[in-house]
Amino acid sequence: MKMTRLAPAKINLCLHVLGKRKDGYHELAMLMQRVSLFDNISVELTATPGVRVRCEAVVLATGEENIAGRAAAMMLEQSGGGGGVDLVIEKHIPVAAGLGGGSSDAAAVMLALNEMLGAGLSKNRLMELGVRLGADVPFFIFEETAWATGIGERLKKVTGLPRIWYVLVNPGFSVSTSLVYRKLELTSPGEVARLPRFPGTIKELVSQLHNDLERVTLAEFPVVAEAKELLVGLGAAGVLMSGSGPTVFGVFEKEAEARSAEAAMSRIPGWKAFAVQPV
Question: What does residue 50 show for φ and ψ, rounded to 5 degrees?
Answer: 100, 175
Catalytic residues: 10, 136
Sheet containing strand 238-241, strands side by side: 238-241, 248-252, 165-170, 272-276
* CB environment 197-207: b (16+ within 10 A), e (fewer): ebbeebeebbe
Of 166, 167, 164, 165, whose CA–CA distance to 271 is shortest? 167
How wide is the angle at C-alpha 56 spanned by C-alphas 55 and 62, nearest 5°?
35
DSSP secondary structure code for residue 278 in this structure: B
Residue type, 155: L
- Rounded to 10 degrees, the C-alpha dihedral 242/155/195/8 comes to 30
Contacts of 236 (CB under 8 A, 6+ apart): 167, 250, 251, 252, 261
